[in-house]
């Protein structure tokens, strides 16, 4: 079905649907002439979905909403990933979809560097010692001391907006950057050598830090499993800020427990919230964050910048939209 047109006779009704984020408050500060409201639960959204022209959403999304959303014309996802949306259903109902790609690039990239620096400077162990009121003595064996990032090799798996921003920050610390992506457009981007995912087995052994920043697709599901972790250096660190299902979590836990790798920074898990019986909670060589790499004080405004640009394009019937997923 062709995408639905916006009426010139009335302002579209926007619904901000999120359990926690304050999009309505941030939107009100823009002083724009739109009708809008917020919901915090799927029940609230289901009750009012037939009023909505534009839906700003991510975690609360359910594909069944399309059947009862008679006025819905556009969904602005607040996340970069769009795997939760049934693309064929969107086409069927003539609803446009755009991602929040780029809205959290700075936040996620800075999070990655914070985790790398925490491991490199052993800040996670310092916090453990602080809780125990333990003063660590100087270390004689250089292999167990804090480290420096200069001349270390970072392998970024997924070289989109976030991957490129990570490489920018990492290069400031003197790191050597290599990257992979699904669709190889050119061999060098922004001074970084880029390879296809198929070459990962050849690249993994050379990396001191591996960062997952690729989207979840059928091709990338369990992209990192036991065979990939066995290829990593024992001194290497593994960081995932993409999606939990890209990693075989059992294989990761095995690699951490058996010291096949030095540590892991895990922001996304196979099951969220992470079950209380997960071994990841208690492993000392893990830094866990609850899928908050992209969450900052600027997050709402970053997404609203994308939304407002798309509203302008929709008003003029211009295509494509910013980060448009569907034609």
Q: What percent of the chain has pLDDT over 70?
A: 99
Per DSSP bridges, beta strands 263-266 and 188-189 are: unpaired
Give pLDDT tens digits for 140-155.
999 999 999 999 999 9
Going by C-alpha positions, the residue among 212, 205, 254 that lies closest to residue 234 is: 205
State whether residue 241 is helix, strand or coil.
coil
- The CA distance from 88 to 75, in Å, is 14
* Burial (CB count within 10 angstroms: exposed 0-12, middle 13-18, buried 19+), residue 153: middle
The reported pLDDT for the residue numbered 185 is: 72
Triad 124, 125, 130: Cα angle to 5°: 100
Residues paired with residue 179 on neighbouring β-strands, in sequence order: 156, 194
pLDDT in tens, 177-203: 999 998 887 788 888 999 999 999 999
pLDDT at 190: 82
Residue stretches of the chain with pLDDT short of 70? 7-9, 327
* Alpha-carbon gap, residue 310 to 306, rounded angstroms: 6
pLDDT confidence of residue 124: 96
**Cβ(272)–Cβ(243) under 8 Å?**
no
pLDDT at 327: 67
* Residue listed under structure tokens 């490129």: 164
Instruction: For residue 51, give the DSSP letter.
Output: G
Catalytic residue numbers?
243, 272, 291
Local structure of residue 118 (DSSP, 8 states): H
C-alpha 269/C-alpha 242 separation (Å) is: 9
Quote the CA–CA distance of 289 and 114 in Å, as a whole number.
Answer: 12
- Name all domains of the chain by residue range, CATH numbers in brackets: 13-101+297-315 (3.40.50.720), 105-288 (3.40.50.720)
What is the model's pLDDT at position 4? 74
Question: Which distant-in-sequence residues (6+ apart) come within 8 Å of 215 by Cβ?
Answer: 80, 81, 83, 158, 160, 242, 243
Q: What is the reported pLDDT for 8?
A: 63
């Amino acid at each position: 079905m062709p995408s639905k047109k916006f009426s010139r006779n009335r302002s579209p009704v926007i619904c901000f649907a999120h359990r926690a984020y304050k999009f309505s408050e941030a939107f009100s500060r823009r002083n724009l002439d739109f009708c809008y409201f917020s919901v915090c639960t799927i029940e609230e959204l289901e009750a009012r979905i037939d009023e909505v022209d534009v839906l700003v959403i991510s975690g609360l999304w359910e594909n069944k909403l399309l059947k009862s959303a008679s006025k819905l014309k556009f969904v602005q996802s607040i996340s970069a990933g769009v795997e939760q949306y049934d693309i064929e259903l969107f086409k069927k109902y003539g609803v446009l979809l755009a991602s929040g790609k780029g809205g959290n690039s700075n936040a996620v990239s800075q999070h990655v560097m914070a985790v790398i620096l925490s491991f490199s400077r052993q800040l996670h162990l310092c916090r453990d010692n602080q809780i125990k009121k333990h003063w660590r003595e100087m270390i004689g064996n250089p292999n167990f001391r804090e480290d420096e990032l200069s001349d270390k090799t970072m392998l970024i798996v997924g070289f989109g907006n976030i991957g490129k921003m990570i490489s920018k920050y990492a290069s400031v610390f003197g790191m050597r950057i290599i990257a992979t992506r699904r669709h190889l457009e050119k061999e060098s981007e922004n001074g970084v050598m880029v390879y296809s995912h198929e070459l990962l087995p050849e690249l993994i052994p050379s990396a001191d830090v591996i960062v997952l920043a690729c989207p979840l697709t059928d091709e990338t599901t369990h992209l990192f499993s036991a065979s990939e972790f066995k290829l990593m250096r024992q001194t290497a660190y593994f960081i995932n800020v993409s999606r939990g299902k890209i990693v075989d979590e059992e294989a990761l836990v095995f690699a951490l427990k058996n010291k096949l790798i030095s540590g892991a920074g895990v922001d996304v898990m196979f099951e969220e919230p992470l079950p209380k019986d997960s071994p990841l909670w208690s492993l000392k060589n893990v830094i866990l964050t609850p899928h908050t790499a992209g969450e900052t004080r600027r997050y709402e405004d970053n997404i609203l910048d994308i939304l407002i640009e798309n509203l302008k394009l929709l008003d003029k019937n211009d295509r494509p939209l910013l980060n448009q997923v569907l034609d």
